[in-house]
């Protein structure tokens, strides 16, 4: 089943970067529009690359859990306001 998501992404703000370095890829996560695209396409990415994603998450488990905790803390802090 495919779901349709409403997105407020501005395509003009997206960076086309077919040969980005790792540092440039990480920096994309600081851009709202890039994060929005990742949010709405994550299901498709999992369907196609789920095995690789899971392998990487297991390989970098400590970094992943720390980053995830930080990310969710920001969301929870925003809800308290």
pLDDT tens per residue, range 66-78: 989 998 898 888 8
What distances in angstroms separate CA 37 from CA 28, 40, 80, one per listed residue?
11, 5, 26
The pTM of this model reads: 0.59
Measured in residues, the chain has a length of 81
Give CA separation, 44 vs 18, 41, 76, in Å. 19, 5, 27
CA distance 10 to 5: 14
| Predicted confidence (pLDDT) per residue in 7-64, tens digit | 778 888 888 888 889 898 888 888 889 888 888 888 888 999 999 999 999 999 999 9
Alpha-carbon gap, residue 4 to 20, rounded angstroms: 29
């Amino acid at each position: 089943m495919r779901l349709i998501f409403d997105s407020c992404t501005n395509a003009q703000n997206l960076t086309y970067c077919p040969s980005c370095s790792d540092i440039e890829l990480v920096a994309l996560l600081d851009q709202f529009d890039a994060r929005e695209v990742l949010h709405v396409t994550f299901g498709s990415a999992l369907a196609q690359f789920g095995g690789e994603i899971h392998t990487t998450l297991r390989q970098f488990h400590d970094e992943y859990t720390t980053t995830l905790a930080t990310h969710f803390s920001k969301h929870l802090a925003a809800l308290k306001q």
